[in-house]
A and B are shown apart, each in its own frame.
Chain A
Amino acid sequence: MFRRLAGEEAIFQDSNSTPPTVGLFVTCLVDLFRPAVGFASIKLLEEAGCQIEVPDTQTCCGQPAFNAGHREEAVTIARQVIAAFEPFDYVVAPSGSCAATIRRHYPELLADDPKWSSRAEAVASKTYELTSFLTDVRSLAGVKVELPEKTIAIYHDSCSGLRELGVKTQPRSLLGTIENLELKEMEEPEVCCGFGGTFCTKYPAISEVIVSAKTKDIDATGADLLLAGDMGCLMNMAGRLRREGRRTEVRHVVEILSGMTEAPPIAGRQEDQS
């Protein structure tokens, strides 16, 4: 499936090196709403020469508690995640938001805990958002995937991935190697979609204004396919696009990168035909 492009040969073809172990952090929204993303992630990581495990003591990264001021509960969940993922060479999540929670916020949450702060740092430093792991760590330069027909796609930069982890070029560079896919840009790809975790239910009217601006921007591109790296944003934009009766197809970026598009899209034409 993968094109092994120049530069990564060393990593993948060095038979002496044991493949790195990766603990897949599935994320609660993928677990509950979109298992396809979990399977697509495994496929991509395996293709990139990693050995995957999915610890079954994982639940959620604790972000809802952390952002709602329930600090103690967030700390307990953080410790649980750290303990579950310590054994692996890397921790990878198909989500910039959850990866950022582990990478940026766990060390802060546990900074004053002498027993846990170094463990938090250690797990944080090996945690990655999936597309950035593939390109930045595994030096993957492309994927060998072909779409059945010419498709114009746009990529929404989810806030946490973009601003807390610097994910911007990584998904685009991988998408750029997919045949039959033309990548366009929205006018404001970096503007928040208005999801914001519990924000969208606490302040639904404001969230609606923000997501409507986003769907307008999406629609103006005339793209067939909207992609992003976070289920929260995707479900928010997909939910609004459906409510507005728009036909843009919505998928998690790893579904397209892995070529696994058997599951109907989160929103879009295929779903309306069913």
Chain B
Amino acid sequence: MKVQSADFINRSAKAIGDEQLQRALGNVRKGFIGKRAKAAAALPEFEAIRDEAVGIKNHVLNHLDVYLERFEANVKAAGGHVHWARDDAEARAIILELCRKENARTVTKGKSMLTEEIELNAHLEAHGIETVETDLGEYIIQLRGESPSHIIAPAVHLNRDQVEADFRRVHSHLAEERALETPESLLGEAREVLRRRYFDADVGITGANFLVAETGSSVIVTNEGNGDLTQTLPRVHIALASIEKIVPTMEDLSTILRLLARSATGQEMSVYTTISTGPRRADDQDGPEEYHIVLLDNGRSALLGTEFQEVLRCIRCGACMNHCPVFHAVGGHAYGAVYPGPIGAVITPALAGIEKAGHLPNASTFCGRCESVCPMRIPLPKLMRRWRDKEYEKGLQPATMRRGISLWAFAAQHPRVYRFGTKYAAALLSRLGGARRRIARLPFASGWTGARDLPAPEGQTFMQAYAAAKKADRS
């Protein structure tokens, strides 16, 4: 997995300076939040379903081996194949091998963050296999050579004009004067181009939102129907899923599905929910002749039984990033990792190491809104704080920050030292504030005064003033 999070400060500065991006991010803020709130409010038992879903997922994670084995047995019983991949390299090799056996020249792909995680497209292309993204957003960023900036809305950082320009550039075989002014016309054009590609494909690769142990099924939810076409038209369907996507039963699946779209886009359900169990049977109208599931670990099983296990409940709805003030300010690409936002801040260090992802769990105000909207009640701020603990233990924090906090903490543990310090700080800062009682520049707090004044203290600390008042009272 490519991680460029060490460069977070520069990447975020660039994002902040990008006016077009800032406008696009305004839409995330305006669009998703209200829709989710409305959808949640319209379902009285929403909170109860959240609790139930958390229970289901906790249960599975505590017995993951059992459910994975059951899943594997049921896939086989339905005529499919299961492949286990420990890491991204193994997953890439398995998928390439399957494509080669099929002599595949072109594969279609439904949107899958996991294929981003293992950088599958580049690998297949390097081996002469063309990959065609069929999700509209994913298709757009593929045209642009970019990566998704959001886990459910990969092209949310772009505006319509940019997409129109890309389409006119790439679809050069189409008439110059065709209208591409509305989102619908853009969608129509992408559909038309993609429609032909579906039939070229030898292999269809999708992700899986869920795996159902009792039936051996993989489940994808989309709003465009592209997932269905990707997996039913080619001769071979490969579904790539990480091991924690498992749920025990269809009943459990339906419980969690009630949360997913509501949390993500504010819909009651996604437009398409497709459940695949094995390859086509003799009397089936359509479907692939071969059905393969690649089960990827890539560091996840190492989280089981640790303080980070809860993150494996994530159903990738994106609600946490939709409600995150930092995501609103810098967008998904600034994080320099496959998964942006609060979930990315927790999972990226888990998958790539805290050494590489140190900024991410720090770049949070701990406002807690992510946790409050997470359908799976993942305590994201707490887990980010856990990563900060690890950073501290490993001595990875910047030295000035580490020393500053240590000094503060030392004083806080010694009330008399503390009183002495605050007394002089209050007096000094108050004097610096002058008659206007504000400090516009403070060398050792330039982070603060770069963008705002520092309101000056009154002059005495509360503790001083209180002690004086009490003394006056007594006399």
Could you tell me which A residues sit within 8 Å of B by CB distance?
26, 28, 30-39, 54, 56-60, 62, 64-71, 73-74, 76-77, 80, 108, 159-160, 163-164, 190-192, 194-213, 235-236, 238-240, 242-243, 263-264, 266-267, 271-272, 274
**Once the chains bind, are B462 and A38 in contact (CB under 8 Å)?**
yes
Residue with the highest number of chain B CB atoms closer than 10 Å, among A38, A204, A238, A240: A204
A78 → chain B closest CB, angstroms: 11
Contacts between chains A and B (CB distance < 8 A), count: 216
Residue with the highest number of chain A CB atoms closer than 10 Å, among B330, B412, B460, B462: B462
A117 → chain B closest CB, angstroms: 17
* Additional 11 contacts, C-beta under 8 A, given A197-B366, A235-B455, A274-B436: A35-B458, A35-B460, A35-B462, A59-B411, A191-B325, A200-B447, A204-B450, A240-B451, A243-B451, A263-B458, A267-B438
**Once the chains bind, are B452 and A242 in contact (CB under 8 Å)?**
yes
**Once the chains bind, are B401 and A267 in contact (CB under 8 Å)?**
no
**Once the chains bind, are B453 and A163 in contact (CB under 8 Å)?**
no
Residue with the highest number of chain B CB atoms closer than 10 Å, among A37, A65, A238: A65
B439 → chain A closest CB, angstroms: 9
**Once the chains bind, are B369 and A67 in contact (CB under 8 Å)?**
no
- B324 — nearest CB in chain A belongs to which residue? A192
B239 → chain A closest CB, angstroms: 37
- B415 — nearest CB in chain A belongs to which residue? A57
A109 → chain B closest CB, angstroms: 11
Contacting A at CB under 8 A, from B96-113, are none
Bound Cα distance from A60 to B422, whole angstroms: 11
Bound Cα distance from A7 to B101, whole angstroms: 79
Q: Which residues of B contact A33 (CB under 8 A)?
A: 426, 455-458
**Once the chains bind, are A192 and B325 in contact (CB under 8 Å)?**
yes
1/0 contact string of B354-375 vs chain A (CB within 8 Å): 0000000011111111011000
Q: Which residues of A contact B454 (CB under 8 A)?
A: 235, 239
Bound Cα distance from A204 to B462, whole angstroms: 29
**Once the chains bind, are A31 and B447 in contact (CB under 8 Å)?**
no
**Once the chains bind, are A271 and B436 in contact (CB under 8 Å)?**
yes
**Is B159's beta carbon under 8 Å from chain A?**
no
**Once the chains bind, are B435 and A56 in contact (CB under 8 Å)?**
no
Q: A59-B412, A206-B12, A239-B454 are in contact. Are A70 and B405 (CB under 8 A)?
A: yes
* A-B residue pairs in contact (CB < 8 Å), sample of 13: A26-B463, A28-B412, A32-B461, A35-B461, A39-B462, A56-B467, A73-B405, A73-B412, A73-B413, A196-B365, A204-B446, A209-B330, A263-B458
Identify which of A32, A60, A200, A208 contacts B412 (C-beta below 8 A).
A60
| The 7 A-B residue pairs with the shortest CB-CB distance in the complex, in nearest-first order | A196-B365, A239-B452, A201-B447, A69-B392, A69-B388, A192-B367, A73-B409
Judged by DSSP, the binding face of B is: helix
Identify which of B9, B369, B445 contacts A201 (C-beta below 8 A).
B445
1/0 contact string of B331-366 vs chain A (CB within 8 Å): 000000000000000000000000000000011111
Bound Cα distance from A62 to B408, whole angstroms: 9
Residue with the highest number of chain A CB atoms closer than 10 Å, among B389, B392, B451: B451
1/0 contact string of B405-444 vs chain A (CB within 8 Å): 1101111110100100010011001000001111010000
Q: Which residues of B contact A202 (CB under 8 A)?
A: 362-363, 401, 447
**Once the chains bind, are B409 and A196 in contact (CB under 8 Å)?**
no
Q: Which residues of B contact A54 (CB under 8 A)?
A: 463, 466
**Is B191's beta carbon under 8 Å from chain A?**
no
Q: A163-B369, A240-B451, A267-B455 are in contact. Are A206 and B409 (CB under 8 A)?
A: no
Bound Cα distance from A31 to B419, whole angstroms: 10
- A158 — nearest CB in chain B belongs to which residue? B367
- A238 — nearest CB in chain B belongs to which residue? B455
**Is B186's beta carbon under 8 Å from chain A?**
no
Identify which of B16, B447, B453 contacts A242 (C-beta below 8 A).
B453
**Is B82's beta carbon under 8 Å from chain A?**
no
- B379 — nearest CB in chain A belongs to which residue? A108
**Is B274's beta carbon under 8 Å from chain A?**
no
**Is B465's beta carbon under 8 Å from chain A?**
yes
**Once the chains bind, are A31 and B451 in contact (CB under 8 Å)?**
no
Residue with the highest number of chain B CB atoms closer than 10 Å, among A31, A163, A243, A274: A31
**Is B448's beta carbon under 8 Å from chain A?**
yes
Q: Which residues of B contact A196 (CB under 8 A)?
A: 364-367
Bound Cα distance from A42 to B326, whole angstroms: 37
Q: Which residues of A contact B197 (CB under 8 A)?
A: none
**Once the chains bind, are A206 and B16 in contact (CB under 8 Å)?**
yes
- A73 — nearest CB in chain B belongs to which residue? B409
**Once the chains bind, are B397 and A200 in contact (CB under 8 Å)?**
no
**Is B13's beta carbon under 8 Å from chain A?**
yes
**Once the chains bind, are B462 and A208 in contact (CB under 8 Å)?**
no
Q: Which residues of B contact A65 (CB under 8 A)?
A: 405, 408-409, 412
**Once the chains bind, are A243 and B365 in contact (CB under 8 Å)?**
no
Q: Which residues of B contact A38 (CB under 8 A)?
A: 462, 465-466
Identify which of A28, A60, A68, A194 contacts B365 (C-beta below 8 A).
A194
Identify which of A69, A210, A236 contacts B389 (C-beta below 8 A).
A69
**Is B391's beta carbon under 8 Å from chain A?**
yes
Identify which of A204, A263, A264 contacts B447 (C-beta below 8 A).
A204
